[in-house]
Structures are given as C-alpha cells and as structure tokens.
Amino acid sequence: MANQLSSSGKANLWSNPDLRKRIVFLLGALIIFRIGAHVPVPGVDAAALAKLYQNVAGSGILGMLNMFSGGSLERFSIFAIGIMPYISASIVMQLAGEIVPSLKALKKEGDTGRKIITKYTRVGTVFLATIQSFFAATLVYNQGIVVVGHFEFITSAVACIVGGTMFLMWLGEQITERGIGNGISLIITAGIIAGIPRAVGQLWSLMSTSPLQAIALAVGALVLVYAVVCFESALRKVPIHYAKRQVMQAQNTHLPFKLNMAGVIPPIFASSVIMFPSMFASWLGSKDSSGWLSKIAVQLQHGSYTYMALFAVTIIFFCYFYTALAFSPKEMAENLKKSGAFVPSIRPGVQTSRYLEKVVLRLTFFGALYITTVCLIPEILTTAFNIPFALGGTSLLILVVVTIDFNTQIASYRVSQQYDSYMVRRSDAKSSTQK
C-alpha cells in the first residue's frame, strides 16, 4: 500500500478533481482580493494620495499596515485597513477566553460555544474596523486631497472600508473551508507577495548607487530564508513505548514537537498590537507635531529602540500564549495513558504531563528567540546601515512559513485522498472476491 501511495503522490497535481477544485477556488479568491485592493474609496485624488504616502508613511508603521493589506492603504482602497481589525478582535477574544469565566465555559461547549465566540469576534471586528476607518478617513481628509464634502466623504469612506474588511474576513473563512490552508494567513501572504516586485525594483535602484550593499542585502535575504526553512523543519522527537510490545515491536514511535509551535501567529499578533496604538497616536497627534501623542508615534516608528524592544517582548509573549492555547500537556498525557503508551523512564499520568510541559516550555523559549531574531534583524540592519527602504523580517517569516505550511497541507491532502481511494478499491476487490 505504501508503494501505491508513493507512486500516486507523484502524479500530476491536477489529477485529483477535489484538490483541483480547491486550488482553483483559492486562486479565484486571491484574484478577487487583488482586484479589491485596486478599488478606491470615492472622493480621493489618487495621484495626490500616492505622493503623500511616499513622503509621509512609506517606511513607518503605516508601511507595515500597507504591506499586510497588499498596497491597499497607499491607494486608500476598500481594503485599506486589510484584515488587521479581525486579527485584533481575535486577540482580544482569545485573551478574554482565558480570563472571563463565561467565555471559558463557552469554549468547553464545542461547536455551539465556538459559534458564539465567532459571533463576538465578528462584532468586535466591526467595532474596531469602524474606529480605524474613521481615523483613516479623517487623516486623509485633513491632508487636503479629498474632492467632496467632509460628511459625504467620511460616511462613504467608513462604509466602504468596513465593508471591505468584513468581506476579507468572510473571504478568509471561505478559503479555509473550501480551499487549502488558513485563509487569513494566505490573504496576508498574497499581500506580501504583491509587494515583492516593488522591493526588487528598489533593490535594483540601490544597485546603481551602492552595488556592494545591494548584493549583501540579496545574499543576506537568501541566507535568512534558508535559516527560516531549517528552523521551521526542526523537531524534538519524544520517544514513546506501548505496553503491548508484541503489537508495536516493529514500529519506532515518537511524538514530534516543532521548535516553532506557534507558527506565524506571534509576529502577526505583535504587529497588530503595536500598530493599533501607533496609528491612533499618529492620527490624533498629526495636528500638533510637538504634542505627547506625536512623540509616542515617533517612538513607535520602525527602527526606534522603543519599537524594537516592544516588538520583541510582544512576540515572546504571544509565542508562550498561543502555544499554551494550542497544546495541553495534561490532555496529551491522559491520551497516552488511555492508549497504553508511555515515555521511557517517565511514569504515566502527572509525571508525563510535567515532562511534556517542560519539553514544550524549553522549545517555546528557543522558538521565541528564533522568531524574534528573524523579525528584528532586518529592522536593525535598516537602521544601522541607513538602507533607503524598509526591510520586513515579519513579512519574510510569514511568507516562508505560510508557503511551507501550504505545501505540507497539499501533500497531506493528496496522501489522504489517495489512501481513501485505495481503501475503496480494496473494499470493492474484496466484495467481488467474495461473490
């Protein structure tokens, strides 16, 4: 059977009708996302807005929001604030789920409780999107690049941007359900990929003025990508034995634990947490350049020591927080005990739970350091060598990790489909033999 699955796995990607349908749906959804990123909010002078963005926000915290939205912010399109309000609402709900007793009870109710929490998350998304879109529209209007009245512009802009955010949230859910992979992560990745041609153009421009620096950047980016791939493939294998050795004697069994168990969630959450107060400080302090809000906005810009320190602390926090949500040592220890499995030299039950918790905490520590280092290296290089354009360690990490996860999910899906078809053929053959 293994040989048949292996040979089938080498077949053409499009030979599986269901997988082909899912990939086509994913591509169609991403195309719709890219089309929407070019649909502008009515009433704005597009040329003046593009010039304003290059002069004011191209390398700041708004530059990161623009990256996550696939360039929608600089065009002030209906996807101007992207999917970040939904991510912020998800963070709030996950934190509240560990603190508020009623939400804790909902999490234990299965699908019913999950639907209610999802409803709360959507309501929070609308609330945050309305606030962010209002401040974004107000900032754009104050720049003198709007060709319609104040009330008309603010009303239409808020309606368009909130509607665009909710559409992206729905589109991400549809990709997760009917496509391949996590829809929200793929939408963010598509936005990052859309900015690669511009980054290549900026690197080419730097080649004409400082070729050594440009070559060093290109080589450094490749080395960083290679390092991310290696670290994402790193596993800690915990061996397990079964009490019934005669059944499992020929099997080498282990529990695989990834070094980075939280994936790309920590840097995305950290970016969202820092971005939210930074945008408010920038917008509210735009009229008074000497006020305390403007000073806060300056301290939260890319390259500042305050920003890098806060970014590192937030990433480490979310690494531990998300790992704690996704992994329960007690539950895993109970499952091992029920199946007759145990870790060598470790007693089943409480001792196994403590051992697994110790392993996971140690992995999370090194995984958090790895993610923080990858995200901060480009920030430090940009500041230290005065590179004329922003480098995104977060975007590189998201791009590589989501690509690896996407490839893994396709491979797993193909193997499961081939296994199901093999079992069906085997069942049919057995039935025909009996007849």
DSSP 244-310: -HHHHTT---EEEEES-SSTTHHHHHHHHHHHHHHHHHHHHTTT-TTSHHHHHHHHTSTT-HHHHHH
Whether residue 14 is predicted with pLDDT greater than 70 in this model: the reply is no
In the prediction, which pLDDT does 65 show? 65
Under the banding of pLDDT at 50, 70 and 90, the label for residue 122 is very high
Mean pLDDT of 202-219: 82
Q: What is the pLDDT of residues 323-337, one digit of tens each?
A: 888 788 888 888 888
CA–CA distance from 119 to each of 69, 86, 105, 108, 174 (Å)?
24, 12, 16, 16, 16
Is 377 within 8 Å of 274 (Cβ atoms)? Answer: no
d(CA 416, CA 14): 16
d(CA 199, CA 88): 27
In the prediction, which pLDDT does 361 show? 92
In the prediction, which pLDDT does 4 show? 44
Under the banding of pLDDT at 50, 70 and 90, the label for residue 429 is low
Mean pLDDT of 185-204: 84
The whole-model pTM stands at 0.79
Pair of tokens at residue 264: 């790309």
In the prediction, which pLDDT does 166 show? 94
Local structure of 17: helix, strand or coil: helix
In the prediction, which pLDDT does 307 show? 81
Whether residue 414 is predicted with pLDDT greater than 80 in this model: the reply is no
Under the banding of pLDDT at 50, 70 and 90, the label for residue 339 is confident
Whether residue 61 is predicted with pLDDT greater than 60 in this model: the reply is no
Mean pLDDT of 275-282: 67
In the prediction, which pLDDT does 244 show? 61
Task: Outline where 37-100 has alpha helix (H).
Answer: 46-56, 61-68, 72-75, 84-97
Whether residue 9 is predicted with pLDDT greater than 50 in this model: the reply is no
Whether residue 280 is predicted with pLDDT greater than 70 in this model: the reply is no
Under the banding of pLDDT at 50, 70 and 90, the label for residue 29 is very high
Whether residue 86 is predicted with pLDDT greater than 80 in this model: the reply is yes
Range picked from 48-57, 61-70, 134-143, 379-388 for highest mean pLDDT: 134-143
Rg (CA), the chain: 25
Whether residue 259 is predicted with pLDDT greater than 50 in this model: the reply is yes
CA–CA distance from 347 to each of 117, 181, 240, 263, 334 (Å)?
38, 38, 12, 31, 12
Mean pLDDT of 399-425: 75
Indicate if 234-391 has the same CATH topology as 16-194: yes
In the prediction, which pLDDT does 246 show? 45
Is 194 within 8 Å of 187 (Cβ atoms)? Answer: no
Pair of tokens at residue 185: 């992560």
Q: What is the pLDDT of residues 223-235, one digit of tens each?
A: 888 888 899 888 8
Nearest partner of 191 among 265, 91, 82, 267, judged by Cα? 82
In the prediction, which pLDDT does 425 show? 59
In the prediction, which pLDDT does 386 show? 65
d(CA 76, CA 395): 21
Query: What mean pLDDT value characterizes the chain?
Result: 79
Break the chain into its structural domains and give their ranges: 16-194, 234-391
Q: Which CATH class is domain 234-391?
A: mainly alpha
Torsion angle (degrees, nearest 10) of CA 188, 189, 191, 193: 170
In the prediction, which pLDDT does 370 show? 92
Mean pLDDT of 123-151: 87
Mean pLDDT of 341-347: 85
**How many C-beta atoms lie closer than 10 Å to residue 71's C-beta?**
18
Whether residue 179 is predicted with pLDDT greater than 80 in this model: the reply is yes
Mean pLDDT of 143-165: 90
Specify whether domain 16-194 bears CATH 3.10.450.100: no
